[in-house]
Chains A and B, each alone.
Chain A
């Protein structure tokens, strides 16, 4: 179980002489990802989802709140002491091209973390070889043909599998996949998503999936939770299928409306929502963060910030004063 409470992160932009500006990347985010569970963070670029993923993987610090891994809170620990805990959470980078060292073979890449582990547990070299082959098989690669290769000799999909295999060498409890398929050929994306789902089922690894494409989030597991993040705040949270089928926050609705419709195969939703303007992070922080862009804003939205809660008789938590179901997503032609 990995939980976060009230996580706040502010980036200070060192700006033109006096114009040092602060950007609130995260404004008090709570999350809980059960052991073996799945969760997805979705939102536009710049919404803070990647920062949150990096905080959870221990690659970024936070200013307030706490991350709890198992039942150990991270804040009181010194950086050195946190390390073994954060090691249980492995980040899968978006770009499989930069995530592997071009000067090292797959064998070398896998061996570094394995020998560390062997050193800690007193295991033999033979165990390392065995384990390297095992993790490669787990991600669907043939160890015999892949081990001696350099990254540039592998396709994007294979590289991403090697990256996942490398993460598995330390027996992680959770994989954080940050846009893990966006740079992979379309015909192979589903394979990587299926692999993540499969690892969940077979190894009990939880998966945190970070993406702007809501449709892919389903494929990690339909039992997962979806967090819709906007300007550092979770604006809607609930089971994946519930939110996709019946989103109530206008921001979630605009995200879902923006997914291309396969005309000819699908019929667009009847009430698509389009934001009034595009994202501008320098907008004022008073009231609802989405108010300026929201086609349904009311007077209350300008002065008061709605908080994430269960109200309005819907099954998911949301941060909107005027939650309303709208039919926004495209549906197959066959389904009338």
Chain B
């Protein structure tokens, strides 16, 4: 196995190794491939989905709140619009907001956790008290209050608020990881060799935590989807654009989907979308650990 590698090409070779490793990890459990395909589908849907439909969506007054049929696979809503079209056009807001939430959660949480755990001392105390304070603020009531003054017109705004509300847990967890990693021999060796803090944090600590962070990112995405869908479902936010939560709200409260069978498709559409997204994330998380761990990647 010992191939003589020209040192200059090592990093290129390693990159190649990495991707072939990823491929092997994916192949080992086909379910992971399903996850990735689903995930790609959602990304595509969010990016290009709305382009396939007219804006606003055509209404068919003769087809109000219909059960699934060949023409409308998941039926129609109370204004005669196709449920699938609604799910697809609504995905952009939901997914974008969730992504922004996740990025803010993970970036803020990781940065604060790393800094706190690595620096220790006074900084640690201050930041962790801050984190604890943040963690004690109940998210949903605060959101309800916020929504009375702020209408969350854009997905980015929505994501920003949700992100700022949810980094606490990640910060705590990353700090704990950092604390245990910094006692490991290789971090100590790096300090003894006089390597810069940037190197230690960026090249030694972060990669060791990468699977963990990536996992948190994916979990934060589901979290983001749930919270905003929940908010819209509760109806505390005004009807502005298509949105899965909005659909659920209308299906349940206006069309009575819980009692009226013909509105069932209307209810199922967004639920199915959320379910599939969660499934995709769970399956990808399953592959994550092996992808980031060079040892598991090879076996």
In the complex, are the beta carbons of B294 and A152 less than 8 A apart?
yes
Tell whether A191 is near chain B: CB-to-CB under 8 Å: no
Q: Give A141 to B242 CA distance when docked, in angstroms.
A: 64
Most buried by B among A59, A84, A86, A98: A98
In the complex, are the beta carbons of A150 and B294 less than 8 A apart?
yes
Nearest-neighbour CB distance to chain A for B125, whole angstroms, equals 15
Closest to B8 in A: A129
In the complex, are the beta carbons of A83 and B194 less than 8 A apart?
yes
Tell whether B28 is near chain A: CB-to-CB under 8 Å: no
- B residues engaging A (CB < 8 A)? 2-5, 7-8, 10, 13-14, 184-186, 188-196, 199, 203-204, 207-208, 210, 292-295
Q: Which of A99, A150, A169 contacts B295 (CB 8 A)?
A: A150
Write 22 A-B pairs (CB below 8 A) sorted by A numbering: A57-B192, A58-B192, A87-B192, A87-B193, A98-B186, A100-B185, A100-B186, A101-B204, A101-B207, A103-B210, A103-B292, A104-B207, A112-B199, A113-B193, A132-B7, A133-B7, A144-B4, A147-B10, A148-B5, A148-B10, A148-B13, A152-B295
Tell whether A107 is near chain B: CB-to-CB under 8 Å: yes
Closest to B13 in A: A148
Q: Give A147 to B210 CA distance when docked, in angstroms.
A: 23
Extra A-B contacts (12), CB below 8 Å, given A58-B192, A145-B2: A87-B193, A90-B193, A93-B189, A98-B185, A99-B189, A101-B204, A142-B2, A144-B4, A148-B10, A169-B193, A170-B193, A170-B194
Closest to A84 in B: B194
Q: Which residues of the partner chain B approach A169 to less than 8 Å between Cβ atoms?
A: 193
Nearest-neighbour CB distance to chain B for A88, whole angstroms, equals 10
- A residues engaging B (CB < 8 A)? 57-59, 83-84, 86-87, 90-91, 93, 95, 98-105, 107-108, 112-113, 116, 129, 132-133, 142, 144-145, 147-148, 150, 152, 163, 166-167, 169-170
Nearest-neighbour CB distance to chain B for A93, whole angstroms, equals 4
Most buried by A among B184, B196, B210, B293: B184
